[in-house]
Chains A and B, each alone.
Chain A
Amino acid sequence: DAGVIQSPRHEVTEMGQEVTLRCKPISGHDYLFWYRQTMMRGLELLIYFNNNVPIDDSGMPEDRFSAKMPNASFSTLKIQPSEPRDSAVYFCASSFGPSRPQHFGDGTRLSIL
């Protein structure tokens, strides 16, 4: 069975550019989570969706960050404009219900120059 699929795996771009990260959750999962991982702050939850509806976006650092889930099989995390401090590994995870384990994708390593 396919796991959570994220793209791209690596992204290098210049400061000020728009960045779009993509995620395809596991089919049938109704919860989708976006995390950011850095050495300094560890794993941070940015936002999560239930049945395509954003439930908690309190972890989104600034208005430069936005996330959408137009349907059950696709979500995007967008940063506009990007800044060097946004450099991190971004993970998407999904679960079947809030009490089942979260399955993580392999992440997108983002570098903003």
Chain B
Amino acid sequence: QQQVKQSPQSLIVQKGGIPIINCAYENTAFDYFPWYQQFPGKGPALLIAIRPDVSEKKEGRFTISFNKSAKQFSLHIMDSQPGDSATYFCAAKTWGGTSYGKLTFGQGTILTVHP
């Protein structure tokens, strides 16, 4: 019940395309859903995050769509650029109890944006 399932494992798009990465969760206690971006040789870095009280959040070219009833959320990258090529992780966490502060990560999606 603590799992976060992420798809696809890898994704290739052309510059300007709109890659979409999907995540699904089971634990209804999750109430914070961040996305992390990781470049080779670097640690994951927070990209954008959403709480379940909103259905969409946009920051620059990055948008999270959230469907609470389906327990799914997704990342869209508008006008993708070769510099967006990286591994993207969705994650989820809960507040309170023994899971206080603990993030559960998806398996990651390797995105390649061709020029």
Residues in A lying within 8 Å of B, measured CB to CB: 4, 31, 33, 42-43, 45, 48, 50, 55-56, 91, 93, 95, 98-99, 101-107
Contact B101 A42 (CB under 8 A): no
Instruction: Decide if B115 is an interface residue (CB 8 Å cutoff).
Output: no
The answer to whether B43 touches A91 (Cβ under 8 A) is yes
Contact call B89/A55, Cβ cutoff below 8 A: no
Complex contacts, A105 vs chain B, CB 8 Å:
43
B89 — which chain A residues lie within 8 A by C-beta?
42-43
Query: Number of B residues whose C-beta is below 8 Å from A?
Result: 22
Inter-chain contact B42/A42, CB cutoff 8 Å: no
A-B contact pairs, 8 of them (CB 8 A): A43-B89, A45-B103, A48-B101, A50-B101, A99-B32, A102-B46, A104-B43, A105-B43
Tell me the complex Cα distance, A20–B41, Å: 20
Question: Total A-B residue pairs with C-beta atoms closer than 8 Å?
Answer: 51
Residues of B close to A31: CB separation below 8 A? 101
Binding site for A on B (CB under 8 A): 32, 34, 41-46, 49, 89, 95, 98-108
Q: Are A43 and B105 in contact (CB under 8 A)?
A: yes
B94 (CB) vs chain A CBs: closest residue: A98
Contact, CB under 8 Å: B102 / A56: yes
Q: Which single residue of chain A is at the shortest CB-CB distance from B99?
A: A56
